[in-house]
Amino acid sequence: MSRERMRPHEPLVDAARALLTHAERALHDVLPNARRGDPDAVHDARARLRRVRTEIEALAPIVFRRRAAHRAERRLRQLERALARSRDDDVLLASVQAHQKARPDEREDLKSLVSLLEHRRRNDRVRRRDALDKRRCREARAALRELGRRARHRPSDLRERVRDVVPELVWRSLDEVLAFDPHTGDPETLHRLRSSCRRLRFTLEMFERALVRPATLTRTLVVAQDELGALHDHHVAITRIERWLARGELDTSRGLDAYIATRRAAALRIVRQRKWLSVFAPDFRQAIERALPRLGSVAHRRTGRT
């Protein structure tokens, strides 16, 4: 099992330092390939950056000094943002090309959109190289090392173990998810809900060894993430194309209208299914409680649950 999974009886500070060491080495491996623009490497780098940011955010109030944690998160967020635009363009370009293949009669109408996306990718490649230069990557890894050196015990318990904080952090992450209205139709709100589901999943995976059969929980969250992510991609694609049409960067055509209609229909199907509602169901909360059978009472006391 990956070293990023904390051992339940390990001292929390030791586990946190090992976690950061693992993350620093992983970034050293993935960032150079992402800088070159490989789509899979860009995805892997964004996932890694998000995971370590979640881990820092979860542990910061307990283990990490606030200023050092903020500095590390800021460095990581800068790198993640540098990868965000290229990811959206890659996803949209792949979707348009798949649509062209499925509907050859509309291929010609979509050529201008493909050309625009390829032009943006070339420009993104230059921006990405600048944003992910060796100096910025070194600074991000150095911030992680410094954060590890500044890790400290919480004054309330100098012998705190990993398992001691699991309920507190898991319930906190779940509460963040449940704060959303799952029936909202606002795309931005649903995108933030997806981010919260991802943070809860990363938290569960970080403490996987301290949980009882967590795979069911993470599978539920992956389904919710995938559906919300697909919905976000449809929204981004439609919004961008309509903006480019309004600016005159694209000319309207029957094929382009058909492509937009296809994305709208796919988004509507996702909204009708609302698979993310499973995260809000009582049995999901009960499954979390069962994952922490001997620590549930502690969790209730710390979070004020009844």
Query: What tens digit of pLDDT does each residue of 92-113 get?
Result: 999 999 999 999 999 999 999 9
CA–CA gap between residue 28 and residue 75 (Å, rounded): 14
Q: How confident is the model at residue 304 (pLDDT cuts 50, 70, 90)?
A: very low
CA–CA gap between residue 87 and residue 90 (Å, rounded): 5
**Phi/psi of residue 38, each to 5°?**
-65, 125
CA–CA gap between residue 267 and residue 234 (Å, rounded): 6
Statement: residue 262 has pLDDT above 80: yes
Can you read off the two tokens belonging to residue 61?
């109030």
Interior CA angle at 136 toward 135 and 140, to 5°? 120
- The rounded mean pLDDT for the chain is 88
Show the 3-state SS of 197-234: HHHHHHHHHHCHHHCCCCHHHHHHHHHHHHHHHHHHHH
CATH class of 163-306: mainly alpha
Q: Report the pLDDT value the prediction gives residue 67, as an integer from 0 to 100.
A: 87
User: Does residue 208 contact residue 241 with C-beta atoms inside 8 Å?
Assistant: no
Query: Which DSSP category does 181 fall into?
Result: -
Query: What residues contact 109, with CB distance under 8 A and at least 6 apart?
Result: 253, 254, 255, 256, 258
Q: Report the pLDDT value the prediction gives residue 141, as an integer from 0 to 100.
A: 92
What percentage of the chain exceeds 70 in pLDDT?
Answer: 92
Average pLDDT over residues 110-132: 87
Domain ranges of the chain: 1-86+125-154, 163-306
Statement: residue 121 has pLDDT above 60: yes
Q: How confident is the model at residue 123 (pLDDT cuts 50, 70, 90)?
A: confident
Statement: residue 4 has pLDDT above 70: no
Q: How confident is the model at residue 83 (pLDDT cuts 50, 70, 90)?
A: confident
Q: How confident is the model at residue 186 (pLDDT cuts 50, 70, 90)?
A: very high
